[in-house]
Structure 1
Amino acid sequence: MTPPHQLSARMIQNFTGESNLEPHWGYAYRVIPCKNDAGSCAYLDAVYGAHDRGMLYTGIFWATILGILLVWGLVRRLGGAADGGNASKYELPLEKQNLLTGEAMTKPREVSRLTRMGRAVGATTRRYLLSSKGVWKGVFGQVTRLQVLILLILVGYLTIWSFVGIVYAKWITPVKGQPEHVKNTRTSLGPWADRVGVLAYALTPLSVLLASRESILSLITGVPYTSFMFLHRWTGHIILVQSILHTIGWVIVEARLYRPQPDVWEAFIAQPYARWGVVALVLLVLLWVGTFQWTIRRTGYEFFRKAHYVLAMVYIGAVIGHWKELQCFLVPGLVLWFVDRAARMVRTAMLHYGYIPSQGRVGFAAAQAEMKLWKDEKHGDLVRLDFEHPQKAWKVGQHFFLCFTEGSIWQSHPFTPLSWPVEDGKGTVRHSYILRAKGGETKKLAKLVQDKLAGALSGKAAPTTPVILQGPYGESIAEGVTPDVNVLCIAGGTGITYVLPLLIDLLRDRNMNPGRKVELVWAIKRSEDVEWVEPEMEELRRLGAAHGLSIRICVTDENGAKAAPQATCCGGESSQEDDDDIKRAPRTSALRESSSERGRPDVTAVVKDFVEGVAQGSTRVFASGPPSMITELRNVVSKCNSGSKVWKGEDRFDVRLVCDDRLEW
């Protein structure tokens, strides 16, 4: 029987006409019976035994991941059904509300002990794992303890599978055709190096899954795809470490432990699979270096993204060339990547392909967005885009990727719509976006608006630009916000787009509990920045007047001057409030809008006072802003949670934070 080409990696085996080849999944065939010396046969037993157990362990590894996803998906579906069934118990009918005082005459019904226990466990988990205190930000970035804990569990799990099931021993064996004193030293280093290499292969499809925008993981878990980027990056780090250890192990074996040298090393490195291994490692190192922030800053994000795609695909091809018997892990990674790209194209086509009235034909047409510009040389110009597009309404909190074709058709960037998603009678939905022009495509767009305004013959018509949409992506942030849940929204600058649609959506609910507490805190650079979202703010004021919405606007940089705080009331008299109003618990009987002194709001005091002022129900904090603000919010929200108090019925200590993860890219 002619031995397959893969036997070249195990040339110590003795092939004779009477030999049989024993297949081993993902590895070289083994010759049986073994006719080498006793030491070599024992070594081969250890090698093939370690590999077979390693393949079993990778199966257990993936079975664990799939099992977790299955349980998570089932719990999410069953939990969603349960929430939907119980939501009505918190909705107080209008006839049972005191319309004069705005206070509920009845209290929410008591929840079951099982539900209360679940909330208490959730509050306890958030208290200890939501915070980022103790996390080494220089290594992990702006992440929570929970994210680091998941990473440590993954690393620990892989470490266990890297070492178990291997026979640790040393065998001194003769070398055929060499003097008796020339001996090979065979150790468990080779089987261990193979094990970590197999695990690196097994992690490849997981890395692709974690990076997919059209995320299967998000579909199952409900977690936004952006939340998986932390694990994607660290999975890449783990694969690199495993690959380096695999390479070092076999270099020591082939260049040091085997004899005679340098003949053994030269014969080894001349083999195609060894050379492909070197190529794969070089590509992996380039991928890793390309992810550094200083590399991205110097080359540009778009170059990084496209280079990352190309290098990743070539790397997968190289590792297939290195050891194609394990392509069962690599081909799925390629398939997942191409499915993700194809799904993105399908999304775009579904949004833009249709009947074009102006041309009287069916085809692909970009949306024409009206543009407005606010000049701000210090902080960056602000551009607002408004257009209507035929499509179904998206969910509150979802975002789109926008491509500005007059700048580049090869780039798209994520933006959250400012507008409340609702279809009009014609089947179209209004899109509104605001974006800060700091560099790249947004800077080009601001320059484009300025040029069009300067070149316009008449100032009556607003300049327009074609926009191609892709999306929507993400999950609804309004899901599960029942009428008894108190809502605090905190936004910094353009982060107002994340929370405004949510507030409008909540305030339009006629069954809203009048005892609910709702507040908006918005930090802006200049007082005139309110003009960005003036139509939406007017709608918010109108709706909030009947629900006791509190609006606080904090001006952080008024050309170095201290901005005087002001307050206006809807349906009531005006009143002056002191400079540290942002630190006091708000009233819920009227709509108030104020500007605080120069500087960022004390979000720690805002959250604590809000929770302390809650009469009943749990609290959700929705936030969008700079990473430093999100980190501070995570720390204070974690402290506000108390599982023991929730178990005793004090639901206000059940506090959850929902933030715009895209800002942490």
Structure 2
Amino acid sequence: MATLESHLTARHIQNHSEATSTEPHWGYVDRDVPCTSDAGSCEYLDLVYGAHDIGMLYSGVLWCTIGGILFAWAVARRAWPSRKTEDVVTVDSEKGANGLGRASRLRRTIASGTRSYLLPDSVRAIFGRTTRLQVLILAALAGYLLIWSFVGIVYKTWITPVKKSPGLYNTRTSLGPWADRVGILAYALTPLSIMLASRESLLSLLTGVPYQSFNFLHRWLGYIIVIQSAVHTIGWTVIEVRLYQPQPTTAITWITQTYMIWGIVAMILILLLFGLSTPWGIRLTGYETFRKAHYVLAMVYIGACWGHWAQLSCFLYPSLLLWGLDRAIRLVRSGLIHYQYLPDGSMGFKAAHAKLTHFADSEHGDVVRMDFAHNQDAWKIGQHFYLCFTESSIWQSHPFTPLNLPEVKNGLVAHSYILRAKKGETKKIAELAVKKLSEKSTATTPLILSGPYGESIMESLTPDANVLCIAGGTGITYVLPVLLSLIQQPCTRDRKIELIWAVRRKDDIRWVQSELDSIRKASKTHCVTVNVYVTREHSPSPSLKDGKTSSQDASVKEVGSTSSASPSVCGGSWEVQRIGDVDHNTHPDLKAKVNSFVDNTVRGRTVVYASGPGGMISDLRTIVAACNSAAKVWKGNERHDVALTCDDRLEW
């Protein structure tokens, strides 16, 4: 600290011996008063300290704004929760033509209008598969920061003499105070960046928005901090290397200071964080390497920032605390899930053991189904768990959505998952399943669970809402629980329910054979329409490697061989169509499918549940947005109130 103050004293031409007192400034070194240097230097010092104090004030305003938004959001979420009964169509003379109260109709009108404009992707070449709403929030934040970066600074230049070098002059400008302001904001944003990246998210707790929805803002806020850090560094480099005299003495003295060495370390670390977080960096190193390196580099970066400017540690304490709490809560949650009765009757840590079923697919990657039961509370439909495969690696965990209903039976909750093995841990699990199944008829592997994470995707689904489920490949796990839940509820008159599932091969149906059997049976009573589209069939279906009997295989063929619709009494149907082959990978026309579904609803709004490749999700955002019309919803045409709920964890 003494070295830092000494350096700043020399740079700011402060004279300790002539000062009568010191003036404290939060986030900066104390100032010697009164100023006994030349008039230009004293005026410059007034600007430096004044602009810094205003910058700290603006940082407080920034966090007050964030806190105010979160507080208002949390209060509104609890004061006006989603109520299913409020939106059910009724006949009442005091309600509008569409049977909704004015408040409900206004809310639906606003929601429909918002979706029509903000749901589609925005500037995909820059932001990737991200909605306009996310980009709008980012633009608002960036604009807010841009304002605070420039206001409250007097822009002026002073030419001041160098006391120890007659004939030489320093050029002092507003570049220094401005570079300091940008640096303050970079520090102030660090806790927010940690909050946006946390799995045990405080933001999710307050807003109800799943933690993964903040990933986009975390990534781009990181880019903003990189830009701020670079601008801060470049600004002071220009000042110390070019504008201050004599040279190169001033530059050498500046760069060899301890606080500057830590500043260089921090800049290198944040550039590494930036490089490794780009799509190119992730592809080069692998996702798991990126993730682990990101954790370590981020914490070392915060430490380097502390070494560079400890006076701003008020922003670094919360960052470290939030990061530590996130990791600690993860461990506690996993420990609570696995704290079970052991075979000897004592209590201790007990892993879950999943039965593995292997489905061979040499061209696109084998698929493995995992089934097990565990003693725990039921989760909510739409939530997911992180699974750690201990026989492969205890240092990695991957997110998976259960494909079954969360039901507690005899104190146990069944879990079922499917994964496609491409590379890394999933490929190791597929190889492990093949190895074990070759040795015996069944195979199991121990798992460690963490979760559940995310929010319920059916909480606000009203009984009159029509449901369209769209899935691609293993994305079926996200929509299956929705359908399984609906067929257990009382049938609602005129309600439409449909599943559109695109698979590469007809044999892929066997991943979720029993669940589809249940839906097919319910299609007669709940008017469920199932359309399975085979997009790349090119060879006979391989045999199932889990010791199942031939009668079960026959059942699968019966389910998958339907080539024409078989309508039920209430209008439901079951159909499997081959629309492509190995040379022509054709996908269902989602625009036509969604528009046809919406146009043929009898009454009520429509909710589309979707999971699959990123391209499919992007297309659906545009399609669903076009189906919405605020004007038509306000006039009573509910079919133009179409919502999209999708699995947006595209990087998984």
Deviation string, structure 1 residues 317-359 (Cα, Å, up to 9, x no partner): 0000000000111111111001000010011001101211x33
Q: 2-side partners of 1:595 and 1:392: how far apart? A: 39
Q: Is the 8 A contact 2:476 2:501 kept in 1?
A: yes
Provide the rounded CA distance (Å) in 1 between the counterparts of 2:532 and 2:643. 23
Partner SS state of residue 331, structure 2: helix
Alignment partner of 2:191 out of 202, 205, 208: 205
Please say if residues 90 and 482 of structure 1, whose CA atoms lie closer than 8 Å, have aligned partners that are also in contact: no
Distance in 2 between residues matched to 1:632 and 1:85, nearest whole Å:
32
Q: Which residue of 2 aligns with 1:601?
A: 588
* Pair 1:406-2:391 in alignment: yes
User: Quick one: which of 445, 450, 460 aligns to 1:480?
Assistant: 460
Counterparts of 1:376-395 in structure 2 under 5 Å?
Answer: 376-395=361-380
Shift of 1:23: 0.6
Deviation of the 1:565 alpha carbon: 7.3
What is the CA–CA distance in structure 2 between the aligned matches of 1:53 and 1:289, rounded to whole Å? 33
Question: What is the alpha-carbon root mean square deviation over aligned residues?
Answer: 1.9
SS at match of 2:649: helix
Separation in structure 1 between the aligned mates of residue 651 and residue 255 of structure 2, nearest angstrom: 43
5 Å matches for 1:552-567? 552-559=531-538, 566-567=563-564
Q: Deviations over 1:20-72 (max 9, x none)?
A: 11111101111111111110111011111111110111111111111111111
Quote the offset at 1:361 in angstroms.
2.3
How far residue 17 of structure 1 moved from its aligned partner, in angstroms, is: 5.6
Q: Among residues 117, 133, 136, which one is paired with 1:128 in the alignment?
A: 117
1:552-599 Cα distance to aligned partner (Å, 9 max, x none) = 0000011189x9972353655xxxxxxxxxxxxxxx623333324222
Residues 552, 3 of structure 1: alpha-carbon distance in 2 compared, 3 angstrom cutoff: closer
The residue number in structure 2 matching 1:544 is 523
The amino acid across from 1:120 in the alignment is: T
Q: Which residue does the alignment assign to 1:195?
A: 181
**Quick check: 1:400–1:470 contact (8 Å CA) kept in 2?**
yes
Q: Which amino acid aligns with 2:179?
A: A
Other-structure match for 1:159: 146
CA deviations on 1:201-228 (whole Å, 9 max, x unpaired) are: 0110111000000011111111111111
Counterpart for residue 468 of structure 1 = 448
Letter in 2 for 1:341: R
What amino acid is the match of 2:494?
G
Q: How far 1:110 sits from its partner (Å)?
A: 2.4
- 1:449 maps to what in 2? 433
User: Could you tell me which of 566, 569, 572 is aligned with 1:569?
Assistant: 566
User: How far apart are 1:297 and its partner, in Å?
Assistant: 2.2
Identity, in percent, stands at 54
- With 292-301 and 114-123 compared, the bigger mean Cα shift is at 292-301
Task: Detail structure 1 runs of 4+ shifted over 4 Å in the superposition.
Answer: 2-5, 89-92
Which whole-Å CA distance do the structure 2 matches of 1:606 and 1:85 have between them? Answer: 29
Q: 1: CA distance between counterparts of 2:147 and 2:311?
A: 24
Cα drift, residue 125 of structure 1: 1.1
Alignment of 1:57-456 (within 5 A): 57-80=58-81, 83-84=83-84, 86=86, 89-90=88-89, 110-132=99-121, 135-179=122-166, 181-356=167-342, 358-424=343-409, 426-456=410-440
- Residues 89 and 99, structure 2, Cα contact 8 Å, conserved in 1: no
Q: CA separation in 2, counterparts of 1:185 and 1:662? A: 52
Letter in 1 for 2:423: G
Comparing 292-301 with 314-323, which one deviates more in the overlay?
Answer: 292-301
**Does the C-alpha gap of structure 1 residues 369 and 260 become closer, same or farther in structure 2, counting only changes over 3 Å?**
same
3-state SS in 2 of match to 1:663: coil
Residue 547 of structure 1, CA deviation: 1.1
The alpha carbon displacement at 1:663 in A equals: 2.3
Q: Indicate conservation of the 8 Å contact 1:90/1:108, yes or no.
A: no
**Distance (Å, rounded) in 2 between the aligned partners of 1:533 and 1:570:** 22
Alpha-carbon contact 2:610-2:646 (below 8 Å) kept: yes
CA distance in 1, matches of 2:564, 2:411: 40
Query: How many Å separate the matches in 2 of 1:225 and 1:469?
Result: 18
User: Are 1:142 and 1:664, in contact at CA under 8 Å, matched by a contact in 2?
Assistant: no
Counterpart in 2 of 1:637? 624
Shift of residue 258, structure 1, vs aligned partner: 0.7
Q: Distance in 2 between matches of 1:491 and 1:378?
A: 20
Q: Is the 8 A contact 1:51 1:194 kept in 2?
A: yes
Hey, what's the Cα distance between the residues in 1 that align with 2:637 and 2:61? 42
**Residue identity matched to 1:336:** L
In 2: Cα distance, 1:70 partner to 1:334 partner: 23
Secondary structure in structure 1 of the residue aligned to 2:236:
helix
Distance in 2 between residues matched to 1:594 and 1:535, nearest whole Å: 16
Contact 2:19-2:33 within 8 A present in 1 as well: no
Give unmatched runs, 5+ long, in structure 1.
Answer: 93-106, 573-587
Please state whether the residue corresponding to 1:662 is helix, strand or coil: coil
Letter in 1 for 2:33: I
1:604-615 pair list within 5 angstroms: 604-615=591-602
Post-superposition CA distance 1:472-497 (Å, at most 9, x none): 00000011001011110000011000
Q: Is the 8 A contact 2:85 2:462 kept in 1?
A: no
Deviations 1:159-186 (A, max 9, x none): 100000001001111111221x311110
TM-score, length-scaled by structure 2: 0.92
Q: Determine the C-alpha separation between the residues in 1 that align with 2:628 and 2:462.
A: 19
Contact (CA 8 Å) 2:90, 2:100: kept in 1 or not? Answer: no
**Partner Cα separation in structure 2 for residue 506 and residue 325 of structure 1:** 57
Other structure's SS at 1:478 match = coil
Within 1, Cα distance between the matches of 2:78 and 2:161? 63
Q: How many angstroms apart in 2 are the aligned matches of 1:625 and 1:565? A: 24
